[in-house]
């Protein structure tokens, strides 16, 4: 994971999502400052046009897996970072939405032990570019180390499929070769780790020329 900057909400969001959503909650009699009642269902106004805008605002990058997800796959979703079940009033707030692939969203669910991409400090997660392994920065203090480890475990960020995806992105980048900017747009965590480790092709070529 890498830090993600909150993007401005679309001009249409207030009318199409927030206003409709709050009116819906009020009609249901659900308090905005309390959890939703057990088993309650609410209208998903965050889908449709809002999901399209969210995908556009964040460049199609899953906030947790840090890879581009195509809309046509059906694998893109809105994650409510603070779960709808925990606080009803945030169900229709743009600032509570994280663009997430369906796998990461289903793993996170309503757990609260996952680090928020919007509040991440840089360099918390490191990556072995030969194995695809993700792990905490060894220099972290005990508290942050636990937070990073919990996030990796909860989201399954180090499972074999995630490792394989990262390996393939870096191998394709090296063997393509692919432009640095393409890697940054499609797999920004791999790009940032390649940059940190001095393994971007442009940097290596520049060093060889000096």
* 192 shares a domain with 160: yes
* 76 shares a domain with 108: yes
* 30 shares a domain with 108: yes
Note whether residue 1 is domain-resident.
no
Note whether residue 3 is domain-resident.
no
Choose one of 66, 85, 113: the last residue of a domain.
Answer: 113
Note whether residue 38 is domain-resident.
yes
Long-range contacts of the stretch 7-11 (C-beta < 8 A, 24+): 7/57, 7/58, 8/57, 9/94, 9/95, 10/50, 10/53, 10/57, 10/94
Is the pLDDT at 209 greater than 80? The verdict is: no
Which pLDDT does position 210 carry in this prediction? 45
Counted domains in the chain? 2
Note whether residue 149 is domain-resident.
yes
* 134 shares a domain with 92: no
* 71 shares a domain with 151: no
* Per-residue confidence band for 206, with pLDDT thresholds at 50, 70 and 90: very low
* Buried/exposed code over 78-114 (b: 16+ C-beta within 10 A; e: otherwise): bbbbbbbbebbbbbbbbebbbbbbebbbebbeeeeeb
* Per-residue confidence band for 203, with pLDDT thresholds at 50, 70 and 90: low
Note whether residue 202 is domain-resident.
yes
Dump pLDDT digits (tens) for 32-71: 999 998 888 999 999 988 999 999 999 999 999 999 999 8
* 171 shares a domain with 148: yes
Query: Which domain range does residue 138 map to?
Result: 121-209
DSSP three-state, residue 78: strand
Choose one of 113, 141, 158: the last residue of a domain.
Answer: 113
Residue 136 phi/psi, 5-degree rounding, is -70, 145
Read out DSSP for 7-22? PPPPTTHIIIIIHHHH
| Greater pLDDT, 115 or 177 | 115
Is the pLDDT at 204 greater than 70? The verdict is: no
Q: Token pair 């791999």 is at which residue? A: 190
Q: What is the pTM of this model?
A: 0.90
């Amino acid at each position: 994971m890498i830090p993600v900057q909150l993007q401005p909400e679309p001009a249409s969001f207030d009318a199409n999502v927030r206003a409709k959503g709050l009116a819906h909650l009020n009609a249901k009699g659900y308090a905005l400052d309390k959890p939703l009642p057990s088993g309650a269902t609410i209208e998903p106004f965050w889908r449709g046009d809002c999901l399209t805008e969210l995908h556009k605002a964040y460049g199609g990058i899953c906030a947790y897996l840090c890879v581009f997800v195509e809309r046509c796959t059906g694998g893109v979703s809105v994650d409510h970072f603070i779960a709808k079940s925990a606080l009803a009033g945030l169900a229709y707030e743009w600032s509570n939405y994280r663009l997430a692939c369906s796998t990461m969203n289903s793993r996170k669910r309503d757990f609260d032990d996952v680090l928020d991409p919007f509040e991440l400090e840089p360099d918390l997660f490191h990556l072995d570019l030969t194995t695809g392994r993700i792990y905490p920065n060894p220099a972290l203090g005990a508290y942050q180390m636990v937070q990073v480890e919990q996030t990796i475990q909860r989201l399954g960020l180090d499972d074999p499929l995630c490792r394989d995806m990262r390996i393939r992105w870096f191998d394709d980048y090296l063997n393509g070769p692919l432009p640095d900017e393409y890697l940054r747009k499609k797999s920004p965590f791999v790009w940032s780790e390649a940059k940190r480790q001095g393994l971007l092709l442009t940097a290596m070529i520049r060093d060889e020329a000096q």
